[in-house]
Structure 1
Amino acid sequence: MGENNGEVLFSDLSGDDYQKPTEIESLCLNCGKNGTTKLMLTRIPHYKEVILMSFNCAECGFSNSELQSGSKIQDKGLRIEVSVSTLRDLSRQVVKSDYATLIVPEIDLQIPPLSQKGDITTVEGILTKTIAGLEQDQPVRKYQDPEGYNQLQEYVLKIKNILELKQKFRIIVDDPSGNSFIENPFAPAVDPTRIERHYVRSTEQDHELGLYTAKELRTEEEVNADNAVGDALTEEKLKEEVLHFSTNCPDCNAPAQTNMKITNIPFFKEVVIMATICEMCDSKTNEVKSGGGIEPKGKKITLKINDPSDLNRDLLKSETCSISIPELEFEMGGGALGGRFTTVEGLMHNMLEEIEKNSIWGAGDATAPDVAERMEAFKKRMHECIEAKEPFTIILDDPAGNSYLQNIYAPEEDPNLHILDYERSYEQNEDLGLNDIKTENYQENAS
């Protein structure tokens, strides 16, 4: 949570701790007189920081509302697909950014990006709002375009049928900015009807988000000047030097500095260690990335923990590595924690902190009773695992093959540690961007 001069910038959205919005006098686009815009910076539980805005004109009664992400554009795009078959599914929270495309395949419904403002609602709210929009001009259309009127009435009936759950349907949110969200009501357990996939954006999608590479922005004179520089940073110099570059704080988005160093982990490989310190909110983060390329095969590491000493094993988790603990029915994707070089115990604490920081649990009246009860039981069992009061299994699944867990019996085999190298699936290669790389007969194809 970002803080500025001791004041909370983004506080959690909760009925127990009311945060007064900021009011600004602004022009009404409907009547041309002045109305009032209210702004509130808050954090949506189980999601991230957002800016809530609403406008109201006392003169003509015009009003509207909008939601914008208070976080930076994510490193990857996000596609979430959920199957809806129960009343609880209809009440799932949905956050849709300006850049997201929303699709309901069963009724051929598609809401394209930038056609609606960002919104926080539910699955039912999205469909109800769609019905209201379609029926808005129906009284006039009934006389001016009877055929179009009848077609829209038939389509509205389809939407009402799925709202009444007369058939199962899917809702898909595809957001290149990565700032959309659909609630998992089973958290922290896996949602069997929810499929979430992160993907690498295309160049066109980057440009739609206003993202351009330094090379795309540089002028021809700058490129020629760079080519003329002979004092290049060699590999030897890079390993000896700590590099510094400007970035933004992941918590409060203030300008910050990141330090980067290349080093070697014994019995493993070369890695890049990065640390960021923010002077505004005192936030400190660190991340580890593999310095080598993607391995030929994926790697699945399984460790059975029966003794407290197992919690002290060194562990490297790459940013593509997912974590699961079968005994807790718990899974966490690679993007949640990024790359980490720590111990098993340290990773468990990191997971628990991430869950508590970005969850609907403990969020006052915003928490469903069944979820709050489930969370308390989960936290209790997680703490018991961290204290080694009960045996459990931790599984690191890294399609890139760049994760590592210490074998304390080396060079002998570890009876509690099992490492499996496997062939990646087409979908995993797609997520890593390998399906677009052509290496066979490259020279022949290039000519």
Structure 2
Amino acid sequence: MAVSVGEAPGGPGPGPGPLFPDLGGEDAGPNLIESLCMNCLKNGMTRLLLTKIPFFKEIIVSSFTCESCGWVNNEVQSAGKIQEEGVRYTLCVSSKEDLNREVVKADCAMTRIPELDFEIPPFTQKGALSTVEGLIDRAVAGLEQDQPTRKAMDPSVALKIEEFIEKLKKLKDVDMPFTLIIDDPSGNSFIENPHAPQKDEALTITHYKRDAHQDSMLGLQKATEEETHTATLDELRNEVLQFSTNCPECNAPAETNMKLLQIPHFKEVIIMATNCGACGHRTNEVKSGGATEPLGTKITLRITDPSDMTRDLLKSETCTVSIPELEFQLGMGILGGKFTTLEGLLTDMKELIMAKNPFFAGDSSAPEKSGKLREFGQKLDEIIAGRREAHIILKDSAGNSYLQNLYAPDPDPEMKIEKYERTFEDNEELGLNDMKTENYQEQEIDK
């Protein structure tokens, strides 16, 4: 779809408000742009909608229609930033209800169905907001597009593709379970969890570090040695570093402050805080300043008193949080790193699940799902208020999380800290299996 450059017929571009308003907000409205139709080479109309969907950052929805020939072209493009880590979703589709799961697939994501040895490489399809069934229908439509030409040029190949198309269509009957894998190095794809806030046993989410090839595919380049700023720890302890970024809410230019801080009886951490002057959004994140510990750490606290809510807490980006009484688990990488109190962490969890969940309210909500989420929020409120006893478990395979001991230096009777050996899967998630630092020979350099 070709788009001509010029002022939209509906008026000038967005005013001083947010560049990407919330979907359905008062400021949300499409921009009209006269564009060239690539089917009949006459002018048609493109409608561009810049909006924001929770869990998918900012997106651009474009719709082209040509009144001359009736050609229509719709697509979704990601306008958000590339995430720090890639994400891989593995879904076991075992029922027709799984076919209705909503899916956000970025254009750089790879889609694979191992049972059919079927793969859609990255950048071969445009981004889409669809369902699992919609992804299958889209793949079938793509294969059927050139079938008339194949039947005329190479009937044997056309027959094999026809047989494969039938296999794809049979997947929608779900006679046998199959696996859907979406691997997105940009980290901007998403598959719905219909059982939220409980853990989805059929869905596995894996975050990973991109390799050099994936960075190159996304147009990213590593900084050269001359561009990399080096500073000693003494300088960093006494200095607040500042760098430019974009606000995660309105995408306006903002400044992020970074400071190295020593936590008593623990280790050094890096605190990053962003304050947007355009929309007033504030966010902070904590990253560990130390190395990965030799052993993983599991911290179990029995919440018995409202004073437990005042405990200082450091949750690293590699830490999972679970509350067994609520059958709830917060995966690694969600909410990022945080240095807060126990009450602050529970409040952020409630906000993530309810206020920022696109399937809790609006057209995407279902009564049974909304009821479960509302009940979950009430139970969290009871825990925060001290009216319900519960256990909170912080499990960090990197060993970089911390929960304050109110009885220090004596042991805390309500808190248990365990050290454990990481499994191969734990090391794989941390990228340690590919790090080889032993038996390297030092080379002397002649001066």
Say yes or no: TM over 0.5.
yes
Query: Partner of 2:405 in structure 1?
Result: 407
Q: CA deviation at 1:204?
A: 1.2
Match of 1:321, as an amino acid?
C
Say whether residues 1:43 and 2:52 are aligned partners: yes
Question: 343-352 or 20-29: which moved more?
Answer: 20-29
The one-letter code of the counterpart of 1:71 is: G
Q: Which residue of 1 aligns with 2:232?
A: 234
Alignment equivalent of 1:158, drawn from 167, 171, 175: 167
Query: How far did residue 367 of structure 1 move?
Result: 0.9
Are residues 136 and 437 of structure 1, via their aligned partners in 2, closer, same or farther at CA, if it must alter by over 3 Å? closer
Kept in 2: contact 1:72–1:253 (CA 8 A): no
Local SS of the residue matching 1:87: coil
Match of 2:439 in 1: 441
Q: In the alignment, which residue of structure 2 is the partner of 1:211?
A: 220
Query: 2:208 is aligned with what amino acid?
Result: Y
Show structure 2 runs of 5+ residues with no match: 1-13
Give me the TM-score of the superposition, normalised by structure 2. Answer: 0.91
User: Partners in 2 of 1:324 and 1:26 — Cα distance?
Assistant: 51
Out of 166, 175, 192, the residue aligned to residue 184 of structure 2 is: 175
Residue 133 to residue 18, structure 1, CA distance change in 2 (3 Å): farther
Deviation, structure 1 residue 284: 1.2
More helix by share: 1
The residue aligned with 1:258 is 256
Q: Are 1:312 and 2:321 an aligned pair?
A: no
Change (3 A) 1:398 1:112: same
Question: 2:76 maps to which residue?
Answer: 67
Q: Is the 8 A contact 2:254 2:275 kept in 1?
A: yes
Distance 1:353 1:5, change over 3 A: farther
1:46-195 alignment to 2 at 5 Å?
46-195=55-204
CA RMSD of aligned residues (A): 2.3
Query: What is the CA deviation profile of residues 363-388 of structure 1, one whole-angstrom value per residue up to 9, with x for unaligned ones?
Result: 31211222112111111111111111
* CA distance 1:210–1:292, shift in 2 (3 Å): same
Query: 2:17 aligns to what?
Result: 7
Secondary structure in structure 2 of the residue aligned to 1:71? coil
3-state SS of paired residue (1:160): helix
Partner of 2:9: none
Indicate the structure whose relative CO is greater, using CA pairs within 8 Å and at least 6 residues apart.
1
Percentage of identical aligned residues = 53
Inter-CA distance 130–137: structure 2 relative to 1 (3 Å threshold): same
Tell me the residue number matched to 2:284. 286
Describe the shift of the 1:325–1:445 C-alpha distance in structure 2 as closer, same or farther (beyond 3 A): farther
**Cα separation, partners in 2 of 1:387 and 1:361, compared to 1, 3 Å:** farther
In the superposition, relative to structure 1, how do residues 240 and 19 fare at CA in structure 2: closer, same or farther (>3 Å)? closer
**SS in structure 2 of the partner of residue 334 of structure 1:** coil
State the shift of 1:127 in Å: 0.9
Write out the 4+ residue segments of structure 1 that deviate beyond 6 Å after TM superposition.
444-447
1:186/1:46 CA distance change after superposition, 3 Å: farther
Paired position in structure 2 for 1:328: 326
- Where does residue 379 of structure 2 map in the other structure? 381
Q: Distance in 2 between matches of 1:202 and 1:440?
A: 22
Alignment match, 1:424: 422
SS in 1 for 2:224: helix
| 1:407 Cα deviation from its structure 2 partner | 1.0
SS at match of 2:157: helix
Query: How many angstroms apart in 2 are the aligned matches of 1:325 and 1:71?
Result: 32
- Check whether the contact 1:25–1:35 (CA below 8 A) recurs between aligned residues: yes
Q: Is 2:60–2:77's contact at 8 Å kept on the other side of the alignment? A: yes
Distance 1:66 1:427 in 2: 37
Question: Equivalents in 2 of 1:46, 1:72: separation in Å?
Answer: 13
* Count of matched residue positions in the alignment of Structure 1 and Structure 2: 432
Maintained 8 Å contact 1:48/1:358: no
1:235 deviation in Å?
A: 2.7
3-state SS of 1:397 partner: strand
User: What is the deviation of 1:443?
Assistant: 1.2
Q: 1:248 aligns with which of 246, 249, 258?
A: 246
Contact 1:298 / 1:424 at 8 angstroms: preserved in 2?
Answer: yes
Q: Distance in 1 between matches of 2:390 and 2:90?
A: 31
Structure 1 unaligned spans of 5+: 227-231
Q: Return the letter of the residue paired with 2:110.
A: T
In the TM superposition, residue 11 of structure 1 has moved relative to its aligned partner by 4.0
Q: Say whether residues 1:368 and 2:357 are aligned partners.
A: no
Alignment match, 2:266: 268
TM-score by length of 1: 0.91
SS of equivalent residue, structure 1 residue 355: helix
